[in-house]
Amino acid sequence: MDLEKSMDSNITLGSDILVIDDSAVILAVVRGILDKKYSVRIAQSAKAAYMCLEEKIPDLILLDLEMPEVNGFEFLKLISDNPDWKGVPVIFLTGIDDRKKEEQALELGAVEYILKPIAEGVLMKRVQFHLELRTYQKKLEQLVESRTNELLRTQEELEKAVDVARKALRAKSTFLANMSHEIRTPMNSIMGFSELTLDSDIPPQVGGYVKKIKDSTIILLRVINDILDISKIEAGKMEIEHISFCPGTVIDNCQTMIIKEISNKGLVFKVNIDKPLKEKQFLGDPVRLYQSILNLLSNSAKFTKSGTITLTASMVDRGEEHGEEYAQLKFEIEDTGVGITEEHLGRIYEPFAQVSGGEFTRINEGTGLGLPITKHLIELMGGKLTVESEYGVGTKFTIDIKLPVTSGESLFDDVFGDAAYTNTERPSFSGVVLVCEDNKLNQRVIKEHLGRIGLTTVIAETGLEGLDIVMDRMKKREKPFDLILMDMQMPVMDGFEATARINALGTGVPIVALAANVMAADLEDYKRSGLMDCIGKPFQTWDLWRCLLSILTPENKEGFIAEKPSPQPEEKPQRSVSATSVPSNNTVAKKDGKKGILIVDDEKSNIIALTHFLRDDYSVYVTRDSRDANEMARNHKPDIILLDILMPEMDGYEVIEELKATPETQHIPVIFISGLSTPEAMGKGLALGAADYIPKPFEASVVKDKIKRLLM
């Protein structure tokens, strides 16, 4: 279809047209043709035309080519250079029949090149066509702008919604962490006093009551752990390890933990393990695998009244992928319990649901979160959980998981220490333990527990008080403590800062975390912070014994192992000096001729990481307050300074300027370690006198190598 014919002339009625020509005759002729349908303005010079454009932007311009002062090409360029005018279509009206000039006009942006004398029909058609095209173009631009604004509004609303969701998630995590701490702290007292009472000379009836209190506390603890696990999974914060382990160890410890529960119900427990699973090492997450198998065993024990529970572990396939050896492992947990009807099988993974036979019930203890958590954990490990069940006959859960085969040593056998020490007889120690704990009931529980195995206790209610006690003992040249138990959440000074400051004193006393906040109590994080071990609250007696036996030597060393021989704890020095991150200034002195490193960074995690891999080779000093950097450098005379850039109060650039302006510190090499990795940031740092620049995130090997080169 002809585009001209398809246009609707009505939509251009009243359009504004500006005619520019130095000939009054031409202006009159053009005006006579067009003013029947359009609003026509005329300009006989470039100056007059400019004023017309300033007054109102037209819908179309008819422009003469040859004019005095400014020709048509120059005026068209003037229009094109103005952002408000450049979209207006321009038609040249000229008496010059020149192909090159016509091409030049079109190249400059003109839409038509019409020769004089002007044919009325041609002019009307051309004008109407470009006015209609201009109208559609404007509508399209308006539509695009409207859609763009709509998309921007939608994007803004989505960003706000995401921000609200993130804040809600953070609030939920904070709430759960705080609630975990608030619930676990009194639970520790209940658990502790229950165990202490059961260990005393009490009437059997009273003992029965107290045992029920303890058992109920353990059930409540499982409920809390389930809720925290499902919250981590929903938030996408559940992390899976990939370390070397032996599946046989996992099975052995599952057996140790579940055997009492199964035996108490009069059930038979059978375990079948393929030989390769007892001998070979695999890469995976032994803790989550252990948790999953134990959940399924506990579930079977809960719903089986008589008969047998069987755990079978086998390697069903083995092969190679991308040069790595893999094995397909299968773990089957089968019981002779009540079973599940087919119609209810699809709902067993719903949170908070329990199926007993053919009905959803709440007659059994627990949250109904065990199976959903187990399914999520197996899938996070790249495996699959399936179930087969026949009502009245029993149920079989199967874990299928493919893991890489490795020849390395098992790195995580000691994670199952609780199970290994469950059957340990009471050990006996001698020594003095400093307990930093602000809760008076927990103070009493811990003191009683330690006292019953021969240890004397000194109590500090805050980290600061604990630090003062250690320093006072050093001043009096008294024997150092044999162990420090450190609560991590205390007023005045928390466990992290107290640990850092005590370690900085160089006493070498092992410090163990008492952690109520299990969401934050990751064992590796605590170890990186200079803590030797972690006891979670609430703890049971063997939790405490396990920790003590791994650090201290019992007096009754010959006879403290009972029925089941457990793996010997890894030998650890009685005391070891451990530098760490410090929330405030670290004033450790240089020892053994070690070179000194001063770390200036306000971010605790960076300090922990740097200190962790530097403390063995260097004397490490730390400040999180950049204003103290110069004083620390003058006092300790470090051989190198590691300096962050983005810090409150004084940034790294200001710090290095001060250091280079001070005679005592101007010679000390400074390495910037910063998240600012632009060439400008690096250039500015080097220009101010930095010896090197390491962008974050950093690798330990890179930091060590650069320090070593500067010290050569």
CA-CA distance, 543 to 291, in Å (whole number)?
18
> pTM (2 decimals)?
0.45
CA-CA distance, 485 to 594, in Å (whole number)?
30
Q: 242 is written with which tokens?
A: 């990939």
Residue 680, in any domain of the structure: yes
CA-CA distance, 605 to 617, in Å (whole number)?
20
My answer on whether 399 and 437 are in the same domain is no
Q: What are phi and psi of 409, to 5 degrees?
A: -75, 150
My answer on whether 391 and 434 are in the same domain is no
My answer on whether 337 and 447 are in the same domain is no
User: Which among 431, 447, 501, 513 is positioned nearest to 470, based on CA atoms?
Assistant: 501
Q: Which of 75, 96, 118 is the last residue of a domain?
A: 118
Residue 586, in any domain of the structure: no
CATH code, domain carrying 340: 3.30.565.10
Mean pLDDT of 645-665: 90
My answer on whether 407 and 438 are in the same domain is no
Which one-letter amino acid corresponds to residue 62?
Answer: L
My answer on whether 442 and 388 are in the same domain is no
Residue 113, in any domain of the structure: yes
Mean pLDDT of 570-585: 33
The domain in which residue 457 lies consists of 427-551
My answer on whether 402 and 470 are in the same domain is no
CATH code, domain carrying 702: 3.40.50.2300
My answer on whether 258 and 379 are in the same domain is yes
Q: 558 is written with which tokens?
A: 């010959």
Residues 6+ apart with CB under 8 A from 558: none
Q: Which of 366, 385, 411 is the last residue of a domain?
A: 411
> Is the pLDDT reported for residue 210 higher than 60?
yes
Mean pLDDT of 244-253: 85
Residue 182, in any domain of the structure: no
What confidence score (pLDDT) does residue 321 get?
81
Among positive and negative, which fits the CA dihedral 433, 434, 437, 442? positive
pLDDT band at 594 (very low <50, low <70, confident <90, very high): confident
CA angle, corner 628, sides to 625 and 629, nearest 5? 95
In tens, the pLDDT along 527-541 reads 777 888 888 777 777
> Is the pLDDT reported for residue 99 higher than 50?
yes
In tens, the pLDDT along 378-408 reads 998 999 999 999 988 999 999 999 999 987 6
The secondary structure element, H or E, covering residue 154 is: helix 120-198
> Is the pLDDT reported for residue 361 higher than 80?
no
Residue the block writes with tokens 């890894």 = 570
Number of domains forming the structure of the chain: 4
Strands of 670-674's sheet in order across: 619-623, 596-600, 640-643, 670-674, 692-695
Q: What is the 3-state secondary structure (H, E, C) of 509-575?
A: CCEEEEECCCCCCCHHHHHHCCCCEEEECCCCHHHHHHHHHHHCCCCCCCCCCCCCCCCCCCCCCCC
My answer on whether 381 and 435 are in the same domain is no
My answer on whether 401 and 258 are in the same domain is yes
How many CB atoms are closer than 10 A to CB 125? 14
My answer on whether 621 and 546 are in the same domain is no
Among positive and negative, which fits the CA dihedral 79, 81, 85, 90? positive
Report the SS3 class of residue 642: strand
My answer on whether 304 and 447 are in the same domain is no
Between the CA atoms of 8, 11, 12 and 13, what dihedral angle is there, to the nearest 10 degrees?
A: 110
